[in-house]
Structure 1
Amino acid sequence: MSTSRNQQREHQRSLMIKSQTYQYFTLFLHNQALPSLNACETVEDLHSLSGKLVRYDCMIQDMYEEEYFMSVLLPTQSSQNSETLSKSTQHSSNSQPGLPLFYKYYTELTQDQIINYETQSIDQQFAQERGNLLGISVPNMNQWLAQEPEKRAKTCLIKVYDENVRSFKLNDNLTVIGILEFNKRQSEDEEMKNVSGGDDDYDPMARTGIPNEQNIPHLHVITFRKDLILNNNQLLKRSQVNNMTLNNYSQDLKEAREKLKAILKMILEGDQVASEFTLLNIISKAHTRKDGFILGNISTNLCGISSLRSKYLNRLLEKILPHSMYLPLSLENLEEKRLSPKKNYDTNSLEPGLLQMVDNTFVVIDETLMKEGKVKENGVMNIKALATLIEQQVVQYDFMYSQIDMPINAGVIVLSEGRSMFKNTLQVVIKPEEGKDLDENKLNQIINDEDLLNQLRRYILVTNSFADVTLQDYHIPEDVSEYAQNIFIETRKNEQQNFGEVKTNADTFHALLTLARLISISDGEIALSMTNYEKARTLDQQRLSRIPQKSK
């Protein structure tokens, strides 16, 4: 019994040492200045890094079935001492005649090796499983966050091992460290065709079900981190914030808020209300999902904005947000672009759409370019996809026989000259202030002021990007909750008496609480006050008063 306990303790100690060693090794690797796959621009660059330790920043764009492979290939009994074996192994850098081959791809084996090693039977002790992920360069990452500019997007097949095989999902934002393998050869498929018996219909994808596998680099994962670029950015690391950050830096946040609002007012013709709603839209983020009900985010329609001012607003957002996407809506774009990803079963690939993006991507929908005309089938599908994103915070994936909704946290603002086609937004009609012409020279100076931009970036990081940490203690005091509920009841009663119908419902009440929450957060406060609740009521009343009423 004592021996058994000692063995158990020794086993647990061994596991602990293994875990600690791996954690130390992982931390060590992530602090190294490794060559970057993202920086490779030519095939020669890829060949130069093949077999070396590299770093790759990516989003998971597609996922394939796991595959079994042999970590060790043993020589057949008949070939142990044969001359053929000697010839077949002399080209392998990690083997000698009669010795096993380690971690070799079947696709890399010569015909002699296939004959002289146990490739037809499976020895269970050497059978292992690995996952296959398709990585692409992180889409919509703004330049200030990117560690290095990329001339074009990079694609890589990511091989994951051990317990990490099922640790990922579509659209995860990853930094991967591993061994790069790139052996693209013109003769490779021809060689495999000969090995397979000369079948004229030979298809390389048939081996694994992975499209274009032979032509893209493979990365064998040693370690990875999710959202590392954002969490480890040089302005404010995720590890530097906590639930007291808003309280500790409330004065700095208030100062940044006022500066951001002043810039927005310059762009939005001096309009205080429109600037306030835009600021709140920028920092809003869904925090609760239950039974299709979503709380935390607001999507506004800035109505009455010109195309030029739209471009300046987008430029500002690109300068201060980690990830953003500009969608200029025209009849041509609606018809020609694909927004929703679509599964192609013929190629076994998920064809990407523009809305396949990482969490916390801010989407700017610009309708100021829209002209009159008929929206055709693909355009209608794209409009529906955007409406679904706004209302449900999901992106619909087309799997031919079914639609799959992928949850996402994405801020959305719609810019239009008249009322937007997206009715599920908060319409904010811009009311220009006299004499507020667009000062482009001054705006350009502001948008290129790095010290100011860094202050605004930190503000966004605290109030939005790291909100799951900084806002975890946000609450509504009991007296404020009671006050808000009493006003809600009183409002409904007055509407019934004065108009004969009740317009205020649970949805409008929750929307008002969300607005009040955002006002508090934007000011660096984690408790809702009666003052901020009243600010929210006033702000929304001002918004509603600008919307033209339909005549009965």
Structure 2
Amino acid sequence: MTQSTNIVANPLHVLENLFEQSISNGDRPTEFDASKYLEDMLQSDLDLAKIPSLNSSNPATLPTDSLVRFRCMVQDSNLGPEIYLKLHEVSNATNGEKKLRCTKYSDADVSAIDQFNEGRIPNEWLDERSVLYCVSPPGESLWMKQQDHSSVDQQLENMSLGEVNHPESDPHSTNKFPLLGVSHSNAVVKLYGADRNIEVGSRIEVIGILSKPSHNSVSEDSMDDFDLPKASFPNTPVIHGIYCRKVNSMDILPVSNDEIGAAKQQACDLRAQLLEYLGNAFGGDVMVAEYVLLQLLSRVYGYLHSFLTVRLITLVLTFRFVSISELQNVAHLHLDSFPLTSLSFHQKLRQHQLKMEIPTRKLVPAFVELPLSLDVLNTTNFYPRSNDENLHAGVLQLLDGTTVLVDETMLKEGTLKEQGVKNMRALNKVIQQQVLGYAYPFHEFDLSTDIGFIVLSRAKSMFPCHCVVPLSQSAGVPLLASDDNGSLKVAENVLSNFRKYIHILKYSDYDIPQAVSEHIQERFVETRKQAASESLPLPTQDDLMLQLNLAR
């Protein structure tokens, strides 16, 4: 059995051997850290595909104390810190020889350790670890999930011929995933050393030892510093993180330097093909495809201007379903600020939503549909809030890079209750400022977001947007053959090129030339003067930010 296979199948045994080698070399036992060893293994002969992923495997089918990986979002970082026993002494029954054992990456049963019961544990044998509640990425697209699939042999090993008994869900975990009713993976992740300082809402990839749910570390009867009961998760799998890295937006889709160079060289051809693909969903309307592509390429961007950091917000699009007569009534508007386009669509608005959703979901890493019905607004939470020291997820607790389709067409006349008003404020705040509020009993704090929004409306949108694109009922002809869902038939390798093109251009560094910046600001000032002289609505600062964002 190779070394890489050893650590996958029996990581605790490998770590114990490493610990013994470390102290035999004269190292202090308290300094033992296996993260460097595992990181070196990942760069050499240990293939990630050999490690089962909780994103695609049922924890019930995986052996306890095996090595697993989990690509996830930190939903709650307020479950710890936790004091644990990382070392203890054992005696040889034959010769009485005493030996130190490492229990760092496990939940040691302290009730069976005599030194602990007798109060003979040195302080240096105790340490602190962070406890996080993590969930699989909300709204993740299928093509992203497929990256976690292991080899066929590994999948067969994880399969069981009998009925799989899924662990019973914990009462405290029912509100921990942002999207209600959506299947997902979850785990309590325990982090050590330098990996401990990871904030809520982060995207992380952790590799560690799968443990049975712990009843004694975060128990229902335990109290925090304020004598409040902590939430317990006795049926949720536990991962003791050996290696953990924070994944930024650029690393969501790994691309090589060669792929970056090829995408930039083929940018014109890829853009034309991509517009054709998107336009097909809208009856051949390439203008609509242009706006959708602009939205997919936009992101929150901060740059230094006159010693101040200017934060450019993502492009917010509103697609408004209108009739031909309505289009004629707005024909006097300036086409640059209110583009008039056409769209062929069926009678039901749901079919329009699918036309928007299907091609977009195949291109972005995560996509969430948010229907704004009165029932949804009044009964769900859009923002995370703490309830008895347990952070309940909100619909908008999403990872950066997620695209949200906000459907206002579902809204009908009725009463918007207090919760609905709070939800509308939270949604408006994320759309306008790209910050999401986290509500705790005695305080509230905001975290920055980078979420793309496309709004569907039958009237004037309730939310501020940069572009309103009317979609009429005039007939249109699809550009190319489509499948049963109305999505353009394209090969998977072509879709892969589209994704890399969007990803590379979206997250590549860029500079707005000084001449372009000055020209845009001069036009902005001139437009305001002209609007004031003609008693027209004045352009806002958001309009200036939009022009700077599009200039890149």
- What TM-score, normalized by structure 2, do the two folds share? 0.71
Instruction: Please give the alpha-carbon distance, in whole angstroms, between the structure 2 residues aligned to 1:272 and 1:105.
Output: 55
Say if 1:30 and 1:396 are closer, same or farther in 2 by CA, change over 3 A.
Answer: farther
| 1:38 paired to 2:78 | no
Name the CA distance, whole Å, in 1 between partners of 2:76 and 2:289.
Answer: 39
Q: Is the 8 A contact 1:232 1:238 kept in 2?
A: no
2:43 maps to which of 21, 27, 32: 27
**Which of the residues 422, 444, 453 maps onto 1:412?**
453
Distance (Å, rounded) in 2 between the aligned partners of 1:211 and 1:484: 53
Q: Secondary structure at the match of 2:409?
A: coil
Residue by residue over 1:51-85, the C-alpha shift from the partner in whole angstroms, topping out at 9 and shown as x without a partner, is 1111222111111322232222236xxxx79xxxx
| Gapped regions of structure 2 (runs ≥ 5) | 1-25, 150-165, 167-181, 323-348
In 2, Cα distance between equivalents of 1:121 and 1:420: 67
Q: What displacement does 1:253 show?
A: 2.8
Name 1:309's counterpart in structure 2.
352
Aligned to 1:343: 386
1:279 corresponds to which residue?
Answer: 293
Alignment match of 1:473 (pick from 502, 506, 510) = 510
Residue in structure 2 matched with residue 103 of structure 1 by the alignment: 103
Please give the per-residue CA displacement for 1:290-338, whole angstroms capped at 9, x wherever unaligned: 8896315111111117332122211222222111101111111111221
Equivalent residue, structure 2, for 1:524: none
Give the paired residue count.
456
Q: Aligned residue for 2:494?
A: 455
Q: Which amino acid aligns with 1:135?
A: C
Counterpart CA distance in 1 for 2:370 and 2:101 is 52
Per-residue CA distance 1:213-254 (angstroms, 9 max, x = gap): 433222111213333998475xxx333468756642223333
**Deviations for 1:338-393, whole angstroms, at most 9, x for unmatched residues?**
1111112x2x2111111111111111111112221111111111111110110011
Q: Could you tell me which amino acid in structure 2 is paired with residue 316 of structure 1? A: P
Q: Secondary structure at the match of 1:515?
A: helix
2:373 alignment partner in structure 1: 330
Contact 2:279 2:479 in 1 (8 A): no
Of 455, 458, 472, the residue aligned with 1:432 is: 472
Show the counterpart of 2:271.
254
Deviations 1:241-293 (A, max 9, x none): 68756642223333234324422532xxx555444323212221111178896
Q: Which residue of structure 2 aligns with residue 522 of structure 1?
A: none
**Which residue of 2 is the match for residue 176 of structure 1?**
206
Q: Give the counterpart letter for 2:201 in structure 1.
A: N
- Counterpart CA distance in 1 for 2:538 and 2:224 is 62
Larger radius of gyration: 1
TM-score, normalising length: structure 1: 0.71
Is residue 52–residue 180 contact of structure 1 (8 Å, CA) maintained in 2? yes
**Deviation sequence 1:72-103 (CA, Å, 0-9, x none):** 2236xxxx79xxxx6xxx9xxxx999655531
SS of structure 2 residue aligned to 1:495: helix
Post-superposition Cα deviations, 1:14-66, rounded to whole Å, max 9, x if no partner, equal: x9xx99756422324453421223344364x2xx4211111222111111322
Equivalence for 2:302: 288
Counterpart of 1:214 in structure 2 is 234
Match of 1:508 in 2: 543
Report the equivalent of 1:484: 520
Structure 2 letter corresponding to 1:140:
G
Q: Retained in 2: the 8 A contact 1:260–1:456?
A: no
CA contact (8 A) 2:213 2:233 kept: no
Rounded to whole Å, the distance in 1 between the matches of 2:249 and 2:293 is 24
CA distance in 2, matches of 1:502, 1:477: 28
Over 3 Å counting, the alpha-carbon distance change for 1:155 and 1:487 in structure 2 is closer
Distance, in Å, in 1 between the alignment partners of 2:366 and 2:272 is 23
Q: Distance in 1 between matches of 2:67 and 2:248?
A: 18
Distance 1:59 1:105, change over 3 A: closer
Check 1:512–1:402 CA distance in 2 against 1; reply closer, same or farther (3 A cut).
same
Distance in 2, matches of 1:354 and 1:224, equals 26
Counterpart contact for 2:280–2:488, Cα < 8 Å: no
The CA RMSD over aligned residues, in Å, is 4.0
Percent pairwise identity:
25
What is the alpha-carbon distance in structure 2 between the residues aligned to residue 169 and residue 245 of structure 1? 36
Aligned residue for 2:20?
Answer: none
